[in-house]
Amino acid sequence: MSMTYISKKHDYAATLDEKEQPKDQKSASVESLLVRTTKLTTVTIKLYRIMVFVRMAIFVLFFKWRISTALAMISDGATTVRAMWTMPIAGELWFALMWVLDQLPKMQPVRRTVFATALEEPLLPTMDVFVTTADPEKEPPLVTVNTILSILAADYPPDKLTCYVSDDGGALLTREAVAHAARFARLWVPFCRKHGVEPRNPEAYFCPGVKARVVSRAAYMGRSWPELARDRRRVRREYEELRLRIDALHAGDVRRQPWSRGTPEYHAGVVEVLVGPPGSTPELGVSDLLDLTSVDVRVPAVVYMCREKRHGRVHHRKAGAMNALLRTSAVLSNAPFILNLDCDDYVNNSQALRAGVCLMLDRGGSNVAFVQFPQRFDGVDPADRYANHNRVFFDCTELGLDGLQGPIYVGTGCMFRRAALYNADPPLWRPHGGDRDAGKDVATEADKFGISTPFLVSVRAALNLNRSEQWNTTSPPRSFDGAAVGEATALVSCGYEDRTAWGRDIGWIYGTVTEDVATGFCMHRRGWRSAYCATAPDAFRGTAPINLTDRLHQVLRWAAGSLEIFFSRNNALLAGARLHPLQRLAYLNTTVYPFTSIFLLLYCLLPAIPLVTRSASTSAFSVNTPPSATYIGFVAALMLTLAMVAALEVRWSGITLGEWWRNEQFWMVSATSAYAAAVVQVALKVAAGKEIAFKLTSKQRAPSAGGGVVKDRFAELYAVRWTVLMVPTAVVLTVNVASMAAAVQEGRWRKGPAAVLAMAFNAWVVVHLHPFALGLMGRWSKTLSPLLLLVVVFTVLSLCFVLHLHML
């Protein structure tokens, strides 16, 4: 974990000396208590850095020897020989470059201790939360409903929180489900406040087999434990009725009806306030179901938005929806901070919003554009066959980048500073003396922001508030009247962004299916920082595709989007001097990694493994030619240092060796399938202008909260859905298994070290593709392991070979 979460207030009251303490000194004291950042300087980290540089030095010596040897061998050779030498050297250089780009940005990790409750309610700024959904079939409304309820029940002042829901499909089913959620929230939110339940997602709280987190007896808010049990039963009964109503909507004709008279691709824009903003004074309630006489029953505001869509218009997928939310929220609540969540990414830790704000308001936090939380998932199989948790990225790479200019934005679970989305400069790079009326100058540029006067006024207010940093004394105006809603509806029209800077310099960036990476990059390029915030318990939890086909399509979308960024104006090589050099390497690695598939497929599909040989004939890679002792020495040194770096990385990051290994396996699966397809797709886009198709990732339907254990919880894991993405990986697996079988049957290992290394490479490929083989086997993988079958086959072949020699 990069951040230790502190939820008690004992340090806050004890540290602040409020006796005659000036207000400005008091604010500074509060700042000093919010976050404590510590650079990792343990022996493990120092050894890790040393081993990285040692391996880089070995790379330099190896390629110096390798290239000089190749030049001597091909000086008088044929064209075929030159090609057979050039290809493996180019591949080795690429693999070495990618390893260096991956390791260097991770060498300065930091850990943060955040005192989330040090900010009392009067000091907390207002916040807007964006929830996006697009298809009620792939993203079930019940999942979206639970996410909304978890947001409304978060431990944050209700008068300072507004939840915006974007329905990009314009489905009446989604709108009705959100309306039902808003009504149920009037019971769910006070129940959570009264008893301090965790998590505050009803499905996760009531789901059988999920142990709900409840506050300790000493800090319990209610009158007695029997009261909690009684209230829980009553609220659960109401939630079951909510589920039945949503299921009835989903089963009926409502799911096929558009909310605004049209189709998912053609409909009018709609902005509707489902729950109005509450007052600033706590309201004690009365209920027939619960005793709420001492509980604040206020519920944060909820706004439903469906942006306009027209045929012949480019709507820019999720990035367009996020920009529509940005404009809508600006004329309604205009909060200085924005939290963006996918429809399945619910609030798992009610203090998460406070923790993110602490990093924004901490001393030096004025230069932080966004706070990225790690993605954690429910419903993943225990073995995490397809590396859905992606711990290496979140707990190693993002943690390391936090010591540079900050982690990469990864689409959800991210808190933004509104001014940073408006293309403002951070204080560190702001011209001295020129920021007094800068908000006014920027806001009047209608060619950038559009022609809406109320929106331009809100932009000016947001930029000025960001410069003053008076979050606790200056609150942006909140207006949810008819005029404001009408203006918001005009702002979500599909033609509003015409001839403006939206998607280029303002808001979320267009031109790629991975708008998250591009948006974060643009902020870092302007000099902003970001921060990494990992809480315990996890701040947010979502769902992940456990089916192989869905997972490959998800990786394909990420890889294609990364290449789109590389071939765009947002290439890391073109960024200015404000981007940290190592941050530049991290972004370069993020946008070029799919090219690895080209060399990896060539290596895996060659009939003979490309090993160094002294032969200059066309059979340069014959197993009869032994590799030199120098080559074997370099290979041994590189493999040893690789193992040491990996072991040290696992040690300092806190991940397990199994998680690291699962990541390595699925990297091999992705590199031989989705990465290669992404290279082809982007090549067609660059050469012929063919746009990349966007396939929405299916969200798992939440298991029933009714009694009983859900049958076959991981059924999707064993479902085999053939896709063309599987073809190259299946060919690679077949070629290497066949090569190993032929080597055993023919006794090739007796032909020298080259043959042994060739078999070792075949085995390396097969072991890495083990999860892919399990996916192809479907339900057979429950009882039969491909590796076990492979061991049995090779054992039988070996016995047959020994018997054959004995008979001779």
Q: Which residues contact 255 (CB under 8 A, 6 or more apart)?
A: 136, 137, 171, 173, 249
247-254: long-range pairs with CB below 8 Å, 24+: 247/142, 249/141, 249/173, 249/176, 249/177, 250/136, 250/140, 250/141, 250/173, 254/172, 254/173, 254/176
Cis preceding linkage at 199, omega within 30: yes
139-157 CB burial, b ≥16 within 10 A, e <16 = bbbbbbbbbbbbbbbbbbb
Three-state secondary-structure class, residue 167: strand
pTM for this one?
0.89
Let me know: does 255 contact 173? Beta carbons within 8 Å: yes
Pairing of strands 127-133, 337-342: parallel
- The set of catalytic residues is 168, 516
Residue of 172, 417, 411 whose CA lies nearest to 304: 172
Q: What is the pLDDT of residue 791?
A: 62
* Pairwise CA distance, residues 338 & 638, whole Å: 46
Count of CB atoms within 10 A of residue 163's CB? 29
Count of CB atoms within 10 A of residue 229's CB? 10
Per DSSP, the residues of 428-449 read GGSPTT--SSHHHHHHT-HHHH
Q: Strand ranges (DSSP E) for 242-386?
A: 270-275, 301-306, 337-342, 346-347, 368-372, 376-378
Q: What is the pLDDT of residue 611?
A: 33
DSSP-derived letter for residue 506 is: B
* Pairwise CA distance, residues 629 & 316, whole Å: 56
Q: What is the pLDDT of residue 608?
A: 41
Q: Which residues contact 606 (CB under 8 A, 6 or more apart)?
A: 621
Q: Which residues contact 426 (CB under 8 A, 6 or more apart)?
A: 366, 367, 369, 420, 526, 527, 528, 529
* Pairwise CA distance, residues 562 & 567, whole Å: 9
In which element (H, E) is residue 584 found? Answer: helix 581-592
For 297, what's the count of Cα atoms within 13 Å in the CB-facing half-sphere? Answer: 14
Could you report how far apart the first and last alpha carbons of the chain are, in Å?
62
Let me know: does 534 contact 2? Beta carbons within 8 Å: yes
The CA–CA distances, whole Å, from 731 to 6, 605, 758 equal 51, 8, 18
pLDDT-flagged residues of the chain (< 50): 1-31, 435-440, 443, 607-624, 702, 704-710, 808
289-292: long-range pairs with CB below 8 Å, 24+: 289/187, 289/231, 289/234, 289/235, 289/238, 290/187, 290/190, 290/191, 290/194, 290/231, 290/234, 290/235, 291/223, 291/227, 292/190, 292/194
Let me know: does 335 contact 125? Beta carbons within 8 Å: yes
The position carrying tokens 């979206």 is 144
Residue of 214, 508, 481, 546 whose CA lies nearest to 370: 508
* Pairwise CA distance, residues 185 & 275, whole Å: 10
User: Crossing angle for the helix pair 581-592 and 79-103, nearest 10 degrees?
Assistant: 130
The position carrying tokens 């009714």 is 706
Structure tokens at 69: 């040897």
For 1, what's the count of Cα atoms within 13 Å in the CB-facing half-sphere? Answer: 14
Q: What angle do CA 483, 176, 254 make, to 5 degrees?
A: 125
User: Crossing angle for the helix pair 674-688 and 548-566, nearest 10 degrees?
Assistant: 40
* Pairwise CA distance, residues 641 & 633, whole Å: 12
Q: What is the pLDDT of residue 701?
A: 53
Let me know: does 175 contact 259? Beta carbons within 8 Å: yes
Let me know: does 474 contact 465? Beta carbons within 8 Å: yes
* Pairwise CA distance, residues 742 & 269, whole Å: 64
Q: What residue type is 597 in one-letter code?
A: S
Q: What angle do CA 761, 762, 766 make, to 5 degrees?
A: 115
Structure tokens at 611: 């090993």
Q: What angle do CA 590, 598, 557 make, to 5 degrees?
A: 45
The position carrying tokens 């409750």 is 117
Q: Which residues contact 395 (CB under 8 A, 6 or more apart)?
A: 1, 2, 374, 534, 653, 654, 655
Count of CB atoms within 10 A of residue 751's CB? 17
DSSP-derived letter for residue 395 is: I
pLDDT digits (tens, 9 = 90+) for 35-56: 787 887 788 899 999 999 999 9
Let me know: does 306 contact 96? Beta carbons within 8 Å: no
Cis preceding linkage at 122, omega within 30: no
Q: What is the pLDDT of residue 467?
A: 83
Three-state secondary-structure class, residue 552: helix
- Helix ranges restricted to H, 207-344: 225-251, 317-332
